[in-house]
Amino acid sequence: MLLRTLADEALRNLCSRWLLATLVGLVACGVGAGTVLFSAAEVGTIRRTWDRQVAEGRFVYELRGSGPDGVDSARCDALNAWPAVVAAGGKIRTDSIHPVTSPGSTYELDHVTTGYLGVIWPGVRAPGPGHVVAGPYASESLGLRAGTPVAWETDGATGVSSVVAAVPPHASLRDESADRHLFATAAPTGAVDRCLVEIDPGHRAAVLAALGAWFSGDAVHEARPLHDFSRSIDPQAALRERTSRWTWWGGAGLIASVTVLSWSFRRADAALYQLVGVGRASIAVLVAVDVLVASITPAIAGVGLALAVRASALADGLVRSVVLADAARLLATLALLPLLCAGLVLVRSVFVTLKEA
């Protein structure tokens, strides 16, 4: 009953100073929403940079032989069984072909191991026997679609035909020449010109160390990145140094400042309660209810509204974890705000407070 009475009294105090309470609530709501929106926007941009670099081959490495013999194709193909390797493969040989529908044109038919296409076009599966994968440019210029037959002639054979198993939806970001080529799989015998290996980002160091031991007897140079990203933005460093990592505590400081400032205009209220015999514990409850309603609840509402607005962005695991962590830190810090305000109100003498008021 006492708690209910104190809560009602706190709400009446807020209603009597509704303009001040509204201003504090708007600031708290704006800070809560801004913390989520700023973090989601910045981390989302970093995530898109990361995804683009991964698509371009940030974690694709190539191994080349020290001599003209290349890299053992069987060892390269065996890397596909490693749990931390996304795909691995190489090109065994390339034939120049003349399509029957365009005899005056020359295209390249690459014979590759099964994992090669998964490296240069993530998600594209290697074709089976009697099938080929056509690069987007080759497909467009020759009028090929998935399931259509294609025939060609070479210097060593005539009337060779196959069926197009798939056409990648876009040009390869990892091998610009692949757009014009046709690809057929071949058994991993002999050597490949180079072994391309896409590594899971979380296991890069371990896999690179294991590759050195795996190819130790093949006179293979160390694994080198397929593309140089040394001059581009490092998404991992950007995530560690993001500006929004300071938003939650800056926002908590702003809400605390506004809340304490609002109580500076009401410091006589606590003194009057003490003069009429209201205990310190009861005054602390009044302050806590006041802060909960005027500051913490609007902050929670702002966080919830911003989470609903950015629900689509939060589908990404990284964005969701960072944004929810920032929001949780903000709300956890605000949970201490009632204690701070109660302490500031009760620490001063009643007579000093009345005199200043």
Domain finish residue from 179, 205, 226: 226
Same domain, 70 and 116: yes
Tokens 């002999």 label which residue?
190
Number of domains in the chain: 2
Q: What is the pLDDT of residues 274-288, one digit of tens each?
A: 666 666 677 777 777
Tokens 């708290």 label which residue?
28
Question: Residue 350: what pLDDT?
Answer: 45
Same domain, 127 and 218: yes
Q: What is the pLDDT of residues 219-239, one digit of tens each?
A: 666 788 888 887 778 888 888
Distances (CA, A) of 331 to 256, 262, 299: 12, 20, 8
Tokens 């001599």 label which residue?
67
Same domain, 169 and 267: no
Same domain, 40 and 101: no
- Domain membership flag for residue 89: yes
Specify whether the CB–CB gap between 71 and 90 falls below 8 A.
yes
Same domain, 13 and 123: no
| Domain limits for position 157 | 60-226
- Read off the pLDDT band of 72 (50, 70, 90): confident
- Main-chain dihedrals φ then ψ at residue 171, nearest 5 degrees: -65, 150
Same domain, 187 and 87: yes
CA angle 173, 65, 79 (to 5 degrees): 65
pTM of the model: 0.72
When mean pLDDT is compared across 23-37, 112-126, 258-272, the lowest value belongs to 258-272
- Domain membership flag for residue 231: no
Same domain, 83 and 209: yes
Q: What is the pLDDT of residues 290-319, one digit of tens each?
A: 888 888 999 999 999 999 999 998 998 889
- Domain membership flag for residue 105: yes
Strand partners, 132: 164
Domain finish residue from 191, 226, 261: 226
Same domain, 125 and 174: yes
At position 94, the amino acid (one-letter code) is: T
Same domain, 33 and 98: no
Domain finish residue from 226, 253, 280: 226
Cite the beta strand spans of 172-283 per DSSP E.
Answer: 182-185, 191-192, 195-199, 224-225
Question: Residue 132: what pLDDT?
Answer: 94
Q: What is the pLDDT of residues 133-183, one digit of tens each?
A: 999 999 998 888 999 898 888 765 666 788 999 999 888 989 888 999 999
Residue 211's SS3 state is: helix
Same domain, 286 and 206: no
Q: What is the pLDDT of residues 170-185, one digit of tens each?
A: 889 898 889 999 999 9
Same domain, 143 and 190: yes
312: Cβ contacts below 8 Å, ≥ 6 apart: none
Average pLDDT of the residues in 333-338: 88
Helices (H), strands (E): how many in the chain? 14, 11
Share of the chain above pLDDT 90, in %: 36
| Sign of the torsion angle spanned by Cα atoms 273, 274, 276, 281 | positive
Question: Residue 109: what pLDDT?
Answer: 92
Same domain, 287 and 311: yes
